[in-house]
Structure 1
Amino acid sequence: MGAISPVPFATDDFLTKVEELVVKPTIDGLQKDGIDYRGFIFIGLMNDNGNPSVVEYNVRMGDPETEVVLPRIQSDLLELFEGVATQTLGEKSYEVTPQTATTVMLVSGGYPEAYENGKEITGFDTVEDSIVFHAGTSLKEGKVVTNGGRVMAITSFGDSIEEALEKSYKSIDKIAFDKMNYRRDIGFDLK
């Protein structure tokens, strides 16, 4: 595969195992069953003692994967989608930034259980070093307020996971809403 991976355990050997043990059998299975599938297949994986183990398959990009994957794509995304639809993807240019991207999801207090909506969100418009994706927000009386459990995704780039996370957390320090919560352990399992 030869992909540039900021994930320490995703060595060339591990990525080759992913391709041989997961990706190719998945594609072979679709073809064997006569399924003309065109689109995303997101394969959630774990590292099981150096071997890939499938946790889940999704036929879509989800949160926060989309917010960390799509910003790294430097190629024309519409052209790539057209290539998928017309089965000419192999003819398209596909370039990805070598930088690492991290995304930290801001959630409403109580998420994923019961949470309240309508909490005013401030400071997001002052963020400069990150991309702020609105997920569960709405505009009410001229103010941006919470309107879901997953409220915003904060995506940042860096030359390492640590640098990208530092930027995301600095950006998060500018944002506030009542009972805002987020994970502070992103990437710790990669060390």
Structure 2
Amino acid sequence: VAPATPAGAAVTVVVAAQGYPSTPRRGDVIFGLADNGQLATPVPGVNVYHAGTARDAEGRFVTAGGRVLALSAVADSIGHARERAYAAAATVSFDGMVMRTDIAGKAVS
């Protein structure tokens, strides 16, 4: 049985901690996430995948590694998926957050 795959396109934007890749900063509070780890302000078609995250003593999500979150978007086209991924990234923040701004750019230009 073949797995079901959605039609359209997908784009993932990774947000990283300051100092990535050599010495990523840890312990910065991540804003914009709900208690379940997904976006507090959902963007249609977007899922959040955690990599370098942890919970602090107060239960907040904090940075705990270099590649902190992957924001993966699916849509009917690569252009729309790119828009969604970057819209999702705009709702998340932490001190020192860095990300590439050219992901899938050539595919839509």
Q: Same fold per TM (> 0.5)?
A: yes
Whole-Å separation in 1 of the counterparts to 2:106 and 2:19 = 24
Whole-Å separation in 1 of the counterparts to 2:41 and 2:89 = 8
- Normalising by structure 2, we get a TM-score of 0.84
Unaligned runs of 5+ in 2: 35-39
Instruction: Determine which of 68, 71, 88 is the counterpart of 1:171.
Output: 88
- Taking CA–CA contacts closer than 8 Å with sequence separation of 6 or more, which of the two structures ends up with the larger relative contact order? 2
User: When you count strand as a share of all residues, which structure comes out higher?
Assistant: 2
1:123 equivalent in structure 2: 32
Instruction: Determine which of 61, 69, 73 is the counterpart of 1:144.
Output: 61
Unaligned runs of 5+ in 1: 1-91
1:100 aligns with 2:17: no
User: When you count helix as a share of all residues, which structure comes out higher?
Assistant: 1
CA-to-aligned-CA distance 1:81-104 (integer Å, 9 cap, x gap): xxxxxxxxxxx1332111211100
Structure 1 residue identity aligned to 2:94: F
Structure 1, 108-117 or 130-139: larger mean CA deviation: 108-117
Contact preservation (8 Å) 1:124, 1:132: no
Q: CA deviation at 1:187?
A: 1.2
Structure 1 residue identity aligned to 2:70: A
Whole-Å separation in 1 of the counterparts to 2:77 and 2:13 = 15
Give runs of ≥4 in structure 1 deviating > 2 Å: 188-191
Q: CA deviation at 1:188?
A: 2.4
- Normalising by structure 1, we get a TM-score of 0.50
Whole-Å separation in 2 of the counterparts to 1:168 and 1:189 = 15
Structure 1 residue identity aligned to 2:78: I
